[in-house]
Amino acid sequence: MTTIVVAVVPARNEAARIEATVRALSTVPAISQIIVVDDASTDDTAERAEAAGALVCRLSRREGKGGALAAGIARTDATVLLLIDGDLGQSAAGAGVLLTPVVNGEADMTIATPPRSRPSGFGLVERFARAGISKLGGVSMDRPLSGQRALRREIVARFGLAPRFGVEVGLTIDALRAGYRVLEVPMEVEHTRTARDLSGFAHRAKQGVDILRALGDRGLRRSKLDP
């Protein structure tokens, strides 16, 4: 079967970086199409993404990261999906390292692990996610919240996506428990940093709540399956 690779990029108010992200992804040879999902942005994210050559899916209301990814995936029948955040800019050009193991059949899902030259967020949410994945998935992940991933479409088709910021934790646990091969791959990533102010703490709080819900749903699912 021919392998078709499509990049799905969820974006909300990323006008400053989305063009650079799309143009960087267009240099990755394996990618046949780039879909940017504009999650009800209030700026010109959609127009800038289109100008850079992406197919844009506009959402009329905010769905959150999980909902935006689901909307983008529904627009394609690709066999391999590359999930990339909209704020990566030029660093998105390095996404080929995520695709190679999946396309070559060496892994079913790859997760980018950026170097730890600087702290990742505030650390608490990441540690919480790591502990949950270890308990429910049986593996300790270095970067459990990394949004940069390549995966076989059948994983999403089989389990769906957790809503909002629970999507990464949900994907990881579902894949691990089903026996899929999950591989962490070093990748240089440049993100827009979440500020250490009131809005930044509010963002982390929302992220933590979504992750808790994703973990709770999967813990309940496991308890129902246990004898």
pTM metric for this prediction = 0.90
- How many domains would you assign to the chain? 1
**Average pLDDT for runs of 10 along the chain of length 227:** 92 97 97 98 98 97 97 97 97 97 97 75 81 94 94 96 95 97 95 65 77 88 51
Containing 80, the helix (H) or strand (E) segment is strand 80-83
User: Which residues, 6+ apart, have CB-to-CB distance to 33 below 8 Å?
Assistant: 6, 7, 55, 76, 78
Residue 80 in tokens: 């391999």
- The CATH code of the domain that includes 126 is 3.90.550.10
Range of the domain at 49: 5-225
Residues 6 or more apart whose CB falls under 8 angstroms from that of 8 comprise: 35, 37, 69, 72, 73, 76, 81, 82, 83, 84
User: pLDDT tens-digit profile of 143-193?
Assistant: 999 999 999 999 999 999 999 999 999 999 999 999 999 999 999 998 776
Give the H/E segment covering residue 209.
helix 198-225
Distance CA 21, CA 90 (A): 6
Sign of CA dihedral 21, 26, 83, 113: negative
In this structure, the number of other CB atoms found within 10 A of the CB of residue 19 comes to 20
